[in-house]
Amino acid sequence: NAGVMQNPRHLVRRRGQEARLRCSPMKGHSHVYWYRQLPEEGLKFMVYLQKENIIDESGMPKERFSAEFPKEGPSILRIQQVVRGDSAAYFCASSQVQGGYEQYFGPGTRLTVT
C-alpha cells in the first residue's frame, strides 16, 4: 500500500527558471493539499484540489504559482520565474474525504533556488 509519493525529492533551479513539483496521492484518496515549509518555520497551506478542480487556493501567492490535479496523473505545483525566497520544502498531503479527516504527507520536495 504505497503512501503519498512526491518527485523530485530535491530540485535545484536558478533564478528565473520554472519548477514543477509532482504529487501522487495515496490509493483511494482523491483530495490533495499542498503546503510550504520555509527553513526553520512551520507548515503553511497553499492549495486544496480534487480531481480537475481547485477547491481552495487561498494560500497561493497571486503570481507565479499555479496548481492542477488532472483526471489522469499526479497533481502538479508549478512555480514560474523562481526567486530565492521560493527556496523551501513543499509537501503534499492526501485524504480520503474533505475536511475533518486524516491527511497523510508525502516526503516533500526540497527546492533550492540559486
Contact set with other proteins (CB under 8 A): 31, 33, 35, 41-45, 48, 55-56, 58-59, 91, 93, 95, 98-108
Give whichever of 17 and 37 is closer to other proteins, judged by the CB atom. 37
Give whichever of 5 and 76 is closer to other proteins, judged by the CB atom. 5
DSSP run (H or E) holding 18: none
The one-letter code for the residue type at 79 is: I
Residues 29 and 16: their CA atoms lie apart, in Å, by 34
Give whichever of 17 and 55 is closer to other proteins, judged by the CB atom. 55
- Output the smallest distance, CB 16 to other proteins, in A: 28
- Output the smallest distance, CB 27 to other proteins, in A: 17
Give all strands (DSSP E) within the chain, no chain letters.
Answer: 5-7, 10-13, 19-24, 31-37, 43-50, 53-56, 65-68, 75-79, 88-95, 104-105, 109-113
Give whichever of 79 and 92 is closer to other proteins, judged by the CB atom. 92
- Output the smallest distance, CB 78 to other proteins, in A: 20
Residues 14 and 101: their CA atoms lie apart, in Å, by 38
